Amino acid sequence: MLIKGSVTGEVDGFAIIETANTSCTGCRGCNEPRSTLVNIPVTSVTGDVVSLSMTVGNQLLLASNSLLLPLMGFVTGSITAMLFDAGDGGQMIGAIAGFLVGAVFCRRQDFSRIQIKDTDNG
């Protein structure tokens, strides 16, 4: 995954990087670019064009944390309730409880997993 953006400012040694909104028309809303404060030191100055990338391993880690853990909790909770012969309502409660347990075990990821490199302004 590679996204290009431009440095639009700096706050306490951390860069504010503005990226083009690359989502589809339905998700874009106002068609405005997105800017975010990147919480890792960046050597670029305002106006520089940078590329933001993430390795495949970090993408898989992010996906497993945000998608697989809650899904596995959901399925495990439902199967556990089924093994205890809890009925349909019990399976629903088990699935919801399992989902919540899976969501609790998700770890928050920070911007240190994103690699930022200067690119040519041309």
Residues 6+ apart with CB under 8 A from 80: 94, 98
The pLDDT, as a whole number, for residue 110 is: 66
Residue tagged 């391993």 (tokens): 57
Category of 21 on φ-ψ map: left (φ > 0), alpha (ψ -120 to 50) or beta: beta
Q: What is the pLDDT along the chain (122 residues), one digit of tens a residue?
A: 677 777 777 777 777 777 766 655 555 455 565 666 666 666 767 777 877 777 888 888 888 888 888 999 999 999 999 999 888 999 999 999 999 999 888 877 766 677 767 665 54
Tell me the chain's radius of gyration from C-alpha atoms: 20
The pLDDT, as a whole number, for residue 80 is: 94
CA dist., res. 1 & res. 55, Å (int): 7
Q: What is the helix (H) or strand (E) element at residue 26, kind and residue range?
A: helix 25-28
